[in-house]
């Protein structure tokens, strides 16, 4: 299975989170993403949250820099 990742930088939040998580399986990545979303972003662990997170997974590894929508210069 190829490397997958989820990158908070692509989803601007109030805290400007810059965490990116990556793993070799979508199951590992989902668990890490759920823990991060709950611990850092205050979400509740729910099937809806897991579904939303899983839809944000990408193939490969996190890029060094991400162009954020709505953030001209930071």
Residues forming contacts to Zn ion in the complex (CB under 5 A) are 8, 17, 19
Between residues 1 and 67, which has the closer beta carbon with respect to Zn ion?
67
CB of 37 to Zn ion, least distance (A): 7
The answer to whether the Cα torsion of 20, 57, 30, 35 is positive or negative is positive
Q: Which is nearer to Zn ion, 17 or 49 (CB)?
A: 17
The C-alpha atoms of residue 56 and residue 10 are separated, in whole angstroms, by 9
Q: Which two tokens stand for residue 4?
A: 């997958």
| Residue with smaller CB distance to Zn ion, 1 or 22 | 22
**Min CB(1)–Zn ion separation in Å:** 24
CB atoms within 10 A of CB 33: 24
Residue 74 CB, nearest approach to Zn ion (Å): 15
């Amino acid at each position: 299975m190829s490397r997958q990742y989820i990158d908070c930088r692509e989803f601007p939040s109030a805290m400007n989170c810059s965490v990116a998580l990556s793993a070799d399986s979508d199951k590992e990545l989902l668990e890490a993403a759920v823990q991060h979303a709950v611990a850092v972003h205050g979400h509740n662990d729910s099937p809806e949250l897991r579904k939303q997170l899983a839809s944000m997974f990408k193939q490969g590894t996190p890029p060094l820099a991400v162009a954020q929508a709505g953030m001209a210069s930071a």
